[in-house]
Amino acid sequence: MGKTIVGGVWPTMLTPFTETGALDEHSLEQVVDWYIDQGVHGLFAVCNSSEMFKLSLEERVRVAEITVRRADGRVPVIASGHISEHMEDQIEEITRISATGIDAFVLLSNRPAAVNESEDIWKGNVERLLEAVPDVPFGLYECPVPYKRLMNPALLQWCESTGRFLFLKDTCCNLDEIGARLEALRGTGLQLFNANAAMLLESLKLGAAGFSGIMSNHHPALYVWLLENWRTQPEAAERVQNFLGIASGMEGLYYPVDAKYSMQLAGLPLTLTTRVKDAAGFQPHQRIIVEQLKKYSDELLKELL
């Protein structure tokens, strides 16, 4: 394949919508610019945070196209978006989204097999997907929707042995398991990106390549700082980690509306409209929490720079 995935911060991108719920292409371009201006190392489009299960295939393709075009080589772009039940439909989704020029297509670990199906069935279906799109590099994402299928170290080694997998968005939220996975992947081309903010620094010490989680939609620059400075400024890194861990306690506040509000506070021209939650349900006290988080994270970043 000849491609690699750079270590660092890979935000799980949000999808902007107009007030009427249509894809807001102009705002999406501004969101791409904002992530890059914050210093992120790559972009993960058409993911669960992007509301991919609520996007038509045409919209999923369009989001990937706009992200790749707007990024314009400044950072690499990966994307998922195979949400169908049947393999034939997933192959079409992977083929069309990959054709937008993304650097890798991210397989949802729960799509190649149903919740009650075996690992052997999973492997067989993954082999079928790989054969159907022979020139595409892949990633893996332990997406919680529609069910969560975790990747054990042996299965990750099998994926790596195919020579096709470069990226793992790890959502096991277990430092011992992360350590076992990293040990299994040590020296390979398949890199682990932790989605759990609370244990990010410890996972970096174990060998994780970076962060790919939803809180990078609130204060990506702090994650960038941590990824780029944790080795040389260990005391400051501990302080930043403590903040990021505590802040991540609001992950379930009213996502993704809360993250869109945070982006509004940063000056981005996007609405609070989503297809997974009614923006009208975003409570006044939740707005205050996001505002306080934004003020505190901005102050901390100013002290660091």
Q: Report the alpha-carbon distance of residue 53 to residue 39 in Å, rounded.
A: 28
**What's the rounded mean pLDDT across residues 26-37?**
98
**What's the rounded mean pLDDT across residues 7-12?**
98
Based on its alpha-carbon atoms, the radius of gyration of the chain, rounded to whole angstroms, reads: 18
Residue 98 · residue 107 · CB < 8 Å: no
Share of residues in the chain with pLDDT > 90 (%): 97
Total Cβ atoms within 10 A of residue 291: 13
Structure tokens at 241: 């980690």
**What's the rounded mean pLDDT across residues 30-35?**
98
Model confidence at 305, in pLDDT bands (50, 70, 90)?
Answer: confident
The answer as to CATH 3.20.20.70 being correct for domain 8-304 is yes
Model confidence at 76, in pLDDT bands (50, 70, 90)?
Answer: very high
Please say if the pLDDT value at position 303 is more than 50: yes
- SS3 label, residue 9: strand
Q: What is the pLDDT of residue 3?
A: 59
Residue pLDDT, tens place only, 223-259 = 999 999 999 999 999 999 999 999 999 988 999 999 9
| Residue for token pair 């000849």 | 2
- Candidates 57, 156, 59, 43; CA nearest to 102 is 43
Phi, psi of 11 (to 5 degrees): -60, 145
Q: Report the alpha-carbon distance of residue 257 to residue 105 in Å, rounded.
A: 26
Residue pLDDT, tens place only, 132-180 = 999 999 999 999 999 999 999 999 999 999 999 999 999 999 999 999 9
The neighbouring-strand residues paired with 168 are 140, 192
Q: Report the alpha-carbon distance of residue 160 to residue 59 in Å, rounded.
A: 31
Structure tokens at 64: 């990937």
Residue 262 · residue 14 · CB < 8 Å: no
**What's the rounded mean pLDDT across residues 124-128?**
97
Q: What is the pLDDT of residue 256?
A: 97
Model confidence at 1, in pLDDT bands (50, 70, 90)?
Answer: very low
Look up residue 150 and give its amino acid: L
Please say if the pLDDT value at position 11 is more than 50: yes
Residue 182 · residue 207 · CB < 8 Å: yes
Kind of pairing between the strands at 77-79 and 43-45: parallel
Please say if the pLDDT value at position 261 is more than 70: yes
Those residues whose C-beta lies under 8 Å from the C-beta of residue 283, and which sit 6 or more positions away, are 254
